[in-house]
Amino acid sequence: MGDTFLRRFRLVGGQFLRRLRFLLLFLCLVAAGGVGLIWQGSNSGTVPRAEPSPIADVSSERLTTGGSVVGLAVSQEAHAWLGIPYAQAPTGETRWTAPKRPVPSTDTLDALSRRPGCIESTRWDTADSEGALIRGSEDCLYLNVWAPRFELETVPAGSDRLPVMVWVHGGQGALGFGGPLYDGALLASRHRLVVVSVNYRLGPLGAFAHPALLEEGGAPDSSFGRSGQFALLDIISALRWVRDNVEVFGGDPESVTLAGASSGGSRVLALMVAPPAQGLFQRAIVQSGSVETRSLSEALHYRDEVEPGHPASAREIVLRLLIADGTAPDRARARYFADGLSPEATADYLRSQSPNDLMRAYLEPGGAQTLDFPGFFRDGGLVPDGGIAGEMADRAAESAIPLLVGSNRDEAKLGLMQDPGQVRRTLDVFLRVRRPDRYEVLSSLQTALGRRNHVEDLADRIAARGGPPVYVYRFDWDEEPFYLGADLELLLGAAHGVELPFVFGQFQFDEETAARLLFDEENAPGRRFVSDAMMSYWAEFAYRGKPGQGRARALPLWEPWAGDERFMVFDTPESGGVRMMTEATNEQSILALWSELTAGWPVTDRCQVFEQLLESGPVVGLSAVGALCAERAQGLDGGALR
């Protein structure tokens, strides 16, 4: 889901401002703006509030393979170089191809501000029938670098070079960019790291499996092979840029940690097993990532083939485009026409589409105004046919790398918050949980199931294989304040994405009102305590491949995952602090948790909760519980399940 936590609040507040701009008091407008702007910022890469023009710092000039770049001093302790191209713009004939190295320039690049993010939708949840659906640019393959502030002659070299952390943003693979939320200045200066954030292609421009494109192979770089995973190709290209250039910023190209959250974390997991990425990073951090993938058939085939494709598969999108531009009146005629096109003609037709028209083709047909993407798929090249988790388990121990992986205690609240059956909205901004007891139960069960599937099962597979250890965590901070009468601790808690500002230690968003929504003076001591610990552990992992006791060797010892299911918990001192904890999450424990949390509820409510849990994944004990719920449905049992 990625940074959708931040995006969805932005949408809620945006609707509120549009409808009530002239009707509410100024204070409510400010408050709503806070609700609406908890996000990493506009994809334009600019900061909305007025800022002084950045000034180049001549001492930051560095010579890269693409030419000389000069950055700026972002503090007394850190330099930043923003908007450095790591590949050419993938436009025109190079759309849906592997990225090309940038053309070197003899001019000095003023790397003083972030460049536009890649094409993404402006209406992830709703869309008008008219108007632009997108923002950003296809010219978007840029990265940002932060490092401790050095004069040119004092840049670390040799054995003094600093570890590098490359950050891959999340956003469902369709949103986001390496924006201000991922400001690496404090992490770089406090713990002496070189931090890099990367933009990469999103949505259908970042993952598209049409055979007309796959048949072109991985040109211009044959080492990539055939793949429709263009976002992964971009990140690999960025890692190659880091390998070739990070030394001039004081970084060690042989000590690179690839880190990401949500869909960014999923991409990190994929790159851990992708052949062209091997050797480009030596450690990995995955925050709330997933090993789930679709088959290539789902991403490619028509929906009515023997192996059916997704409703928005690459072939189906071509049909939608042909109907939309008037080439064909209906799907049957469009398919007849599309099947008669040569691969070259099909590729040319797809590349002739504007990004806006391409994005509009992903609107669900039949009047629904939500965007529908097939998601992450197994292309058999970068993403193996057997899936990511299986490939990790099968890999030789000597080829593995250390992994730090975890999730948040209330992950599922991000989705529950958007369910009108769970949360009542007034004026699209005043939020109230309808049944707090049911809300907490659903969150606990769905989060536990997701943690089992994407964190602990993965950790078990890696630990069983042997080789480098895996370290597991859970983020528990939930001290959000009341806001406009809403209990944000209940509504959000430690939801998906809440941990991101803690990793970078900035507690800032593009809008001051957004930061004030979650972070106030009352919760400042506790959140800074948690953030300091996370930054220290993350940095120590980047240095040594194990978090240990943090950089200062003063924190609790973080022990590797083993058969006793021990993991690190991040919380405030008042709630238990930073500590190791033992707690298994498996199908039996999830079923027991359901039984405990819903004990004494009416059978209808208990079965509804269980049925909602099944939507998140398989759970054991289906025969016993399913039979009782079936009896309830037939009116044979009116009591409580035991």
Average pLDDT score over the chain: 85
> Range of 354's domain?
296-360
Question: Residue 341 domain-assigned?
Answer: yes
Confidence of residue 621 (pLDDT cuts 50, 70, 90): low
Contact call for residues 205 and 224 (beta carbons, < 8 A): no
Residue 308 maps to a domain:
yes
- Angle at 158 (CA atoms; ends 153, 160), nearest 5 degrees: 80
Q: Are 382 and 451 in contact (CB under 8 A)?
A: no
- φ, ψ at 564 (rounded to 5°): -90, 5
Q: Please give the average per-residue pLDDT across 12-16, as a whole number.
A: 41
Final residue of a structural domain among 313, 345, 360: 360
Give the pLDDT score at 543: 98
Question: How far apart, in whole angstroms, are the C-alpha atoms of residue 632 and residue 248?
Answer: 68
Taking residues 155-182, what's their average pLDDT?
A: 92
Residue 586 confidence (pLDDT): 82
pLDDT digits (tens, 9 = 90+) for 486-529: 888 999 999 999 999 999 998 876 455 666 788 989 999 999 99
Q: How far apart are CA 638 and CA 541, in angstroms?
A: 54
What is the spatial distance between Cα 640 and Cα 598, in angstroms, rounded to a whole number?
A: 9
In whole angstroms, give the CA distance from residue 163 to residue 283.
11
Helices and strands in the chain, H and E counts: 23, 20
- What 3-state class would DSSP assign to 64? strand
Contact 510, 49 (CB under 8 A): yes
Q: What percent of the chain is modeled with pLDDT above 70?
A: 83
Least confident of 213-217, 230-234, 449-453, 633-637: 633-637
pLDDT band per the 50, 70, 90 thresholds, residue 287: very high
Please tell me the distance from the alpha carbon of residue 8 to that of residue 240, in angstroms, as a whole number: 34
Its pTM stands at 0.89
Q: Give residue-wise pLDDT tens across range 86-141.
A: 999 999 999 999 999 999 999 999 999 999 899 998 764 444 445 567 889 999 99
Mean pLDDT of 614-624: 65
pLDDT at 36: 33
Measuring CA to CA, how many Å separate 189 from each of 13, 74, 183, 489? 35, 10, 12, 32
Residue after which a domain boundary falls, among 360, 381, 414 = 360
Q: The tokens of 449 are what? A: 């199931």
Q: CA nearest 77: which of 189, 191, 184, 196?
A: 189
Would you say residue 373 has pLDDT above 70? yes
Sign of the torsion formed by the C-alpha atoms of 135, 165, 207 and 456? negative
Secondary structure (DSSP) of 13-76: HHHHHHHHTTTS-HHHHHHHHHHHT-SS--TTS--SS--PPP---GGG-EEETTEEEE-EESSS
Question: Which residues are CB-contacts of 204 (< 8 A; sequence separation ≥ 6)?
Answer: 317, 358, 359, 362, 373
State residue 615's pLDDT score.
75
C-alpha 591: how far from chain center: 29
Query: 410 near 547, Cβ under 8 Å?
Result: no
- Which tokens sit at 486? 């809403």
DSSP 497-512: TTTHHHHHT----SSH
Q: Are 88 and 102 in contact (CB under 8 A)?
A: yes
Find the range with the poorest average confidence among 265-274, 300-309, 403-412, 617-626: 617-626
121 vs 403: CA distance, rounded Å: 32
Report if residue 29 sits inside a domain: no
Residues constituting the chain: 642
The bridge status of strand 403-408 relative to strand 283-287 is parallel
The two beta strands, 566-570 and 579-582, are: antiparallel
- Please, which residues have CB within 8 angstroms of residue 521's CB and are 6 or more apart in sequence? none
Evaluate whether 109 touches 68 at the Cβ level (below 8 Å).
Answer: yes
- Asked which of 340, 360, 380 is the last residue of a domain, the reply is 360
Q: Is residue 208 part of a domain?
A: no
List 470's β-bridge partners, or say none: 403
Instruction: Give, in order, the Cα–Cα distances in Å from 238 to each of 88, 113, 201.
Output: 11, 18, 12
Question: If 0-12 CB within 10 Å is exposed, 13-18 middle and 19+ buried, where does residue 432 land?
Answer: middle
Q: What is the pLDDT of residue 63?
A: 97
| Cα 34 to the center of its chain, rounded Å | 22
Confirm whether 153 is domain-assigned: no
pLDDT tens across 424-463, in order? 888 766 788 999 999 999 999 999 999 998 999 999 988 8
Residue at 620 is within a domain: yes
Rounded CA separation 194/100 (Å): 24
215-229, 269-283, 299-313, range with the lowest pLDDT: 215-229
The residue behind tokens 């058969």 is 563
Cα separation, 312 vs 371, in Å, equals: 10
pLDDT at position 48, please? Answer: 42
Helix (H, G, I), strand (E, B) or coil at 367: coil
φ/ψ of 452, rounded to 5, equals -60, -45
The candidate with the shortest Cα–Cα distance to 186, out of 502, 491, 422, is 502
Count up the domains in the chain and report the number: 2
Lowest-pLDDT range of 31-40, 207-216, 457-466, 562-571: 31-40
What distance in Å separates the CA atoms of residue 432 and residue 423, rounded to the nearest whole number? 6
Q: For CA atoms 490, 496, 498, 503, give the dihedral sign.
A: positive
Upper half-sphere CA count for residue 634 (Cβ side, 13 Å): 7
Flag whether 611 is in a domain: yes
Beta strands in 207-345 (DSSP E): 251-261, 283-287
**Cβ-based neighbours of 602, under 8 Å, separated by 6 or more:** 640
In a domain, 624, yes or no: yes
